[in-house]
Chain A
Amino acid sequence: GAGVSQSPRYKVTKRGQDVALRCDPISGHVSLYWYRQALGQGPEFLTYFNYEAQQDKSGLPNDRFSAERPEGSISTLTIQRTEQRDSAMYRCASSPGQPSPLHFGNGTRLTVT
């Protein structure tokens, strides 16, 4: 596609449920990043991939969070046993490589009730 696509745009889930957030990067982009953004704050780094390899997951808050990019294209961020504090905008970005500008998707707004 023309840009980075994230789905769903909005997700409301009950505490304790698992959620999977999807990111479809720009075709051919090597690097894929996941960020979390609270209202009024800057994007908080979670993890990133080069091709299918997860290069750094040190930004993932705890072991309930995981991400994968099995074929080096689409990525899924999974949050298990969601908690209210997980509520935020989750943003995905991709780039042709490093250093390059990041192209951001419109994000997934996650609300945990």
Chain B
Amino acid sequence: SQQGEEDPQALSIQEGENATMNCSYKTSINNLQWYRQNSGRGLVHLILIRSNEREKHSGRLRVTLDTSKKSSSLLITASRAADTASYFCATDELRQAGTALIFGKGTTLSVSS
């Protein structure tokens, strides 16, 4: 099952522009994470935001979380060609025992120079 759903599915921008990706989810969560994946390689963790946090920054990344709307956004400022990748949100879904991290389908970002 996939809990989160990213929007848009694909995004193309020019270097220097900002990129915004959104994630919506269905159930209550304890935390939400964003990951990046370059061209079919391994996933790399970007940022974790807890349910009691509304905004978090890491370098050029800004993540917001709105638990009332069950949504999150990832903003990449001043994008670079190296930011070209797929971006996934992941939420902890309460399971029978403990929680499991469930990923969305991702947004493919293309940054051209």
Residues of A within 8 A of B (CB): 33, 35, 39, 41-45, 48, 50, 55-56, 58-59, 89, 91, 93, 98-107
Contact = CB atoms under 8 A, between A and B. Distances in A.
A106 to B, nearest CB: 5
A50 B33 contact: no
- The 5 lowest CB-CB distance pairs between A and B, nearest first, are A101-B45, A42-B103, A104-B42, A56-B95, A104-B43
A106 B42 contact: yes
A56 B101 contact: no
Nearest to B2: A42
Contacts of A104: 42-44
B41 interface: yes
Contacts, number: 69
B40 interface: yes
Query: Which range holds the interface residue count of chain B?
Result: 20 to 34
Nearest to A6: B42
Given A35-B103, A101-B33, A43 B97 contact: no
18 contacts: A41-B105, A42-B2, A43-B43, A44-B2, A45-B103, A48-B100, A56-B95, A56-B96, A56-B97, A59-B100, A93-B43, A98-B99, A99-B92, A99-B99, A102-B101, A104-B42, A105-B42, A106-B42
Given A45-B100, A89-B40, 17 more contacts: A42-B2, A42-B106, A44-B2, A44-B103, A45-B1, A45-B102, A45-B103, A48-B98, A48-B100, A59-B1, A91-B43, A99-B31, A102-B33, A103-B45, A104-B44, A106-B41, A106-B42
B40 to A, nearest CB: 7
Contact of B98 (A39, A43, A56, A103): A56
Contacts of A45: 1, 100-103
